[in-house]
Structure 1
């Protein structure tokens, strides 16, 4: 099973670029790809209009058979071992990944995700109950997915 992570625009703050790039490099051998969708500038439009414009871009990147995970602070806290079990299920074609070709994990723009994306999602994960800068959320998500893969692979990283 392939995994695609969708991020909005450029990483901010820029000081996190090295951390993001390091985890993207570590995840490549596991078949994880990262794609960027254009985020909207906060403007005179309503927050809902801005989020829906981003949602349209997100939907264009989705394919039939995707298992969509939306990252949102109102989601369910995901734990490392749960994430590892989901990755195993993806490899084995087991529930809840049966019939799914790809897992797509998406982080919203500056205003978060549109309700339409949350409703379409197969799962909504909270990376933290805190609202965090988009760059921090990226690094937290990438490290969490990397850690889950190391659990699946029985690599010592998880216990370091």
Structure 2
């Protein structure tokens, strides 16, 4: 039996770690919603995605999706909330920043929900992620948290 290497079609998305052709940082930021502030810098976004990948290896340290993140924020979980900036309609995520500010949880926006989903190890898009701290990735978690707190807040 001969193994045939499967060729990817153009209609299939990019594999993990590679960007789609024509999808630069500037092009991704064109599709942000009006409330996507504070937006993480390019460097901070990469660091956040690496932290999310490390957190996904640990069980129950990443919460994905609007309903799950909202539920655990209300229960009192602490961590970092990362929200996709290209969510449409905005009403889906508009209440989460207010909840985070009330509970004292740092949050920021990243340009793409596709990239956020792939950082979680999923082929599906994800609107938001709650990352909880763990001793395996404490250093990168603390760097991300301090980077988010340094971002300018706009009210």
Fold match by TM threshold 0.5? no
Q: Please identify which structure carries the higher strand content.
A: 1
Q: TM-score, normalization: structure 2? A: 0.31
Q: Which has the larger radius of gyration?
A: 2
Q: TM-score, normalization: structure 1? A: 0.30
